[in-house]
Amino acid sequence: MKSSLGCVKGLVETNKPYVCMLLTQLIYAGMALMSKAALTKGMNPYVFVVYRQALATLVMAPFAIFLESKTAPPLTYKILFKIFMVSAVFTVSLDTYNLSLNYVTATLLVASSNTVPAMTFIFAVMFRTERLAIRKRYGQAKVLGSAVALLGALVYMYLKGPPIFSANSHHQISHSSSNTHFIKGSLIMLVCNMSFALFYVVQEPVVKEYPALLSLTTLQCLFTCIQSAIWAIAMERKLSPWKFGWGLNLISVAYCGVIVTGVTYWLRVWAIDKRGPVFVAAFTPMALLFTAIFSAIVWQETFYWGSACGAVLMVGGLYAVLWGKHKEVKLEEIDEETEQKQENTKVETA
């Protein structure tokens, strides 16, 4: 009986990071749809970020104080500066994310975010937080998987093909289809995805140095709120955009502030601590699938065969990266066990 309970407990512990990241991507899909709806209703993208980060800070702070005030390591000026700089990278990602929604659909934006795993892998290799290991099978799987996922994202965005089903145009949220807007939106999306990928990588050493996850999340929410507020004031001097009233805008801010910023911040930081930034970034394609399904049901957006092929490639790339990462972790655990046994043998011999 104890053996069976132990196996079940071990299985749950092993799959926690996977469940955690699937839930995170489901929440991100909702964020894309609700953010797009709020911005279409006239919400200022910069003000939107300020309010969501402010709300997230207010929600997370009591939990951080109550649960980690006695266990959190001391905050030095050096650590605060690092957290502030990491938050600045994420602030760029947040502001460009919402800004790009003025030019592209939510589904297209989420599709472009599937370049994040490839970018994260490149940044991680550059910063030497991830081993390339091109001669190993797991290294080849991570490289090939990242490339396939990137190819799938490009196919999804640019190769439509015949429609799987036709949408009712009056159910779709309108967006500009001009070439100029598409190019502008694509460039903004590129900056957003690059900063998001960089954030994954630079976040990891900060988590190792300051492992109080709730306190770290709260500080990042606070710093991104301050940084976003400075940027919003610089870009928008009028008071009218800061008044958003009730209804859809308030619901969107509450969802993004409490659920997205608060909950997924913590889930993502926890997963980075357990499996690393490449593992976390590899789940990005799942948000596209969730967004496409929700968009088709709620807004009846047209879904194309080219998009379906791109989605298959992205998921295939995801599984290749996950397989490579899983094998790498297993080999590292075996190496650690071997080293420990050798050290124990030396001690017993001595």
For 164, which DSSP code?
Answer: E
* Nearest-angstrom CA–CA distance, 69 and 8: 33
Of the candidates 326, 333, 339, the one whose C-alpha atom is nearest the C-alpha of residue 139 is 326
Residue 172 pLDDT: 44
Q: How far apart are CA 70 and CA 288, in angstroms?
A: 40
What backbone torsions phi and psi does residue 164 show, to the nearest 5 degrees? -75, -40
> Whole-model pTM?
0.74
pLDDT single digits (tens) 101-132: 888 777 777 777 777 777 888 888 888 877 77
Phi, psi dihedral angles at 42 (to 5 degrees): 110, 5
For 314-345, the DSSP string reads HHHHHHHHHHHHHHHHHHHHHHHHHHHHHHHH
Domain boundaries, given as residue ranges, for the chain = 19-325
Neighbours of 148 (CB within 10 A): 21
CA atoms of 259 and 262, how far apart (whole Å):
6
Taking 70 as the pLDDT cut, the residues of the chain under it are 1-14, 165-179, 244-245, 262, 278, 298-301, 346-348, 350
The pLDDT of residue 113 is 76
- Which residues contact residue 86 at a Cβ distance below 8 angstroms, ignoring those fewer than 6 apart? 199, 202, 203, 206, 220
